[in-house]
Amino acid sequence: MSDTAGPSGTDPAEENAAMIPKKGKEKESSGGKYMKKTTLTILLGILNVFLLAILIFIIAFFVKDKSQRVIINPSKTFCLPCDEVSIHPDDDPINFRQFSKRDENGKEICCADEGQNLDKLMELYVERKHAMKASAMNTQELQAACNSKVDDFEPRVIGRVAGISRTSPDGVNHKVHWRMTGNERGLYFRDNVTYSDGQFVINKPGYYYVYSQVTLDFNAAKQDQTKSLCHYLYKTPQTGQPDKLLENSRTRCKFQGSSTQSTSYIGAVFNFNAKDKLMVKVSDPNILDKADSKSYFGLHII
């Protein structure tokens, strides 16, 4: 038995023996943490390598795919059959010169690139559609409508004059006066519409389709007094000032020195009141073709 004792009265040898298991446990705990950390690091490294391999594969796939692709630029050209944008045979050579043309199965096709040429192609297409809609109600149909007897329905309001008799100054423009005799195929009236002094007078209120065409003989112009000819439709209410409803202009500069004609067509639907008056005006009467078949003015209720 030792003569020395620890502060607590226990044998130092016993204390040392008791401390050995604690240090072993601490070393074991520290070693476990290190192993876990090492394992996690290895797993993260493997995951990074795996993700990097996937990324490299994806990049390689798209690079290869891109090298094999054929790039086709979208078409910027729009084409229509030339006869669907023809306004007048005399106009076509000038209107079509800005388009490229080709033949498809014996049919001439007009093509325009994007920009102003495409805008012009669409403008001609729409203008022709309006003109065809108006001409669909031809002379025979109008006469049949005027002369038919309808017992069960209200008579249709309709009116048409054709052929220019004269023009008269009206402000800065000129009012067109239409023939009242000698144009059997151009003059029609039926119920609730009258014509006087170059104007249709609406007697029955309602929605009307009103239209006008004038043919311009640019060869008749000796000098270029203006750069374009304007074609107008005006309404004058029972009380009030004339109101411009429609306007179209035909550029004269491109016709300089050429013996050709051009047509201007305007037409739309409006709601008119009783006693409204409708008239056609032009900016230059000297170049009008006055023939019945080329210049006319009409309306019908819808």
H/E run at residue 18: helix 12-68
pLDDT value for 211:
92
Task: Give pLDDT, residue 224.
Answer: 55
Distance CA 271, CA 232 (A): 18
Domain ranges of the chain: 77-135, 139-301
Residue 63: count other Cβ atoms within 10 Å of its Cβ. Answer: 10
Q: Which of 159, 101, 168 is nearest to 276 (CA)?
A: 159
The CATH number given to 139-301 is: 2.60.120.40
β-bridge mates for residue 247, sequence order:
232
> Are 242 and 234 in contact, with CB atoms under 8 Å apart?
yes
The per-residue pLDDT for 302 is 80
Low-confidence residues in the chain, pLDDT < 50: 1-2, 4, 68-73, 150-153, 182-186
- The residue count of the chain comes to 302
Residue-level pLDDT at 183: 46
Q: Which of 131, 83, 129, 120 has its CA nearest to residue 103? A: 83
Asked if 292 contacts 179 with a C-beta cutoff of 8 angstroms, the reply is yes
Report the alpha-carbon distance of residue 99 to residue 102 in Å, rounded: 10
Inter-residue contact 229 to 185 (CB < 8 Å):
no
With beta carbons less than 8 A apart as the criterion, state whether 178 and 290 touch: no
- Residue-wise pLDDT for 131-164, tens only, equals 666 655 555 555 555 555 544 445 566 888 888 9
DSSP 238: S
pLDDT tens sequence across 170-191 = 888 999 999 875 444 445 666 6
Does the model's pTM come out above 0.85?
no
- Give the pLDDT confidence score for residue 291 in this predicted structure: 85
